[in-house]
Amino acid sequence: MTRWTTTDIPDQTGRTAVVTGANTGLGLETAKALAARGARVVLAVRDLDKGKRAAGQIAGDVTVQELDLGSLDSVRAAAAELRTAHDRIDLLINNAGVMTPPRSTTADGFELQFGTNHLGHFALTGLLLDRLLDAPGSRIVTVSSNGHKMGGAIHFDDLQWERSYSRLGAYAQSKLANLLFTYELQRRLAPRGNTVAVAAHPGTSSTELARHLPSLARPVTELVTKVAAQPAADGALPTLRAATDPGVLGGQYYGPANLAQWRGAPVVVASSDQSYDIALQQRLWAVSEELTGVTFAV
C-alpha cells in the first residue's frame, strides 16, 4: 500500500478550513498543507501577534481569528465573527491543546486541560455547526492523543480535579473526552449523511506541546523524542488525511502506522475500549452541554 502524504490531498479550492492552535506545531503544518492545496484557511489562535507571524509563513489565502478556548466568552465571540465572515465552513480542525501544566483553571473555572482541550472545542463546534451542515462534504476533525489510554475513567465526580490533581491524568481525561465527543457527534450527524466527525492523533511528534511536563518526566521524554519522534509535518498527516481523504468514514480514528503508533504513515487505528462506550459518550455530552451552555442542532 502506498504511503499517504500531502501530495494525496485533493484540490481544496473553494473550501474554507478553520484550524485552532494554528500558529505553531501541528496546527501550523496542517494550515500550510491545506493552504497549499487551495483552501481558504483561518488560523484560530489565542495570540493574534503569533497568529499573524504564522500567517506570514503560509502561502495562500490565510486570515487570523482571535480565539481563546479557555474562555467561553472568547469562544462565543470568535464563533460569531466566523459566522459573519463565512456562509459555510468546510473543515473545522479542533487541534489546539495544552498538556500537563501545573493545575490552573480557565476563565470559567474549569481545569485548564479539560476546559481547553475538550469544553472549548465542544462549544466552538456547536456554535459553528450550522455553517458546517450547510457545506457539502464538510468534516469536523478533533485531535486526540494515544495518551487517552493512560488516565482511567472520566472523573465525573471531580471533573475539575479539585480534590487531587494529576497532570498526566487530567491530560489523558481531556484526550479521552475528545474521542467520546467525536464518536457521539458522529452518531448524531449520521442521519443527515453530509457532515462527518473524525478523530486523529499525531503519534510522537516534535512540538512545543510537552513543554509543561514535570521535570522528572523530561529525561524519558527527551530520549523518546530523540529516538522516535517525527517532525511536526509528519505528525500533522493523520489530521490531514482525516480532513481530506475521500475514503474517510465518520467515526474513524487516524494515527501513525508504526512503532506502537509513535510514527509512520497515517492509517485508521483503534482507540481504547472505554472510548467506544456509548453510555459514557452520552453522559459526557450531557455534562458538556450543561457546563458550556451550548446545545447542538443534531
Annotated catalytic residue within 165, 171, 254, 276: 171
CA 217 to chain centre: 24
Q: Is 171 a catalytic residue?
A: yes
Q: Which one-letter amino acid corresponds to residue 166?
A: S
Taking the C-alpha atoms of residue 126 and residue 296, their distance in angstroms, rounded to an integer, is 5
Beta bridge partners of 93: 19, 141
Q: Which one-letter amino acid corresponds to residue 226?
A: K
Taking the C-alpha atoms of residue 18 and residue 94, their distance in angstroms, rounded to an integer, is 8
All three cell numbers of 111, joined, read 481545569
Closest CA relative to residue 145, chosen from 252, 255, 234, 263: 255
Active site residues: 171
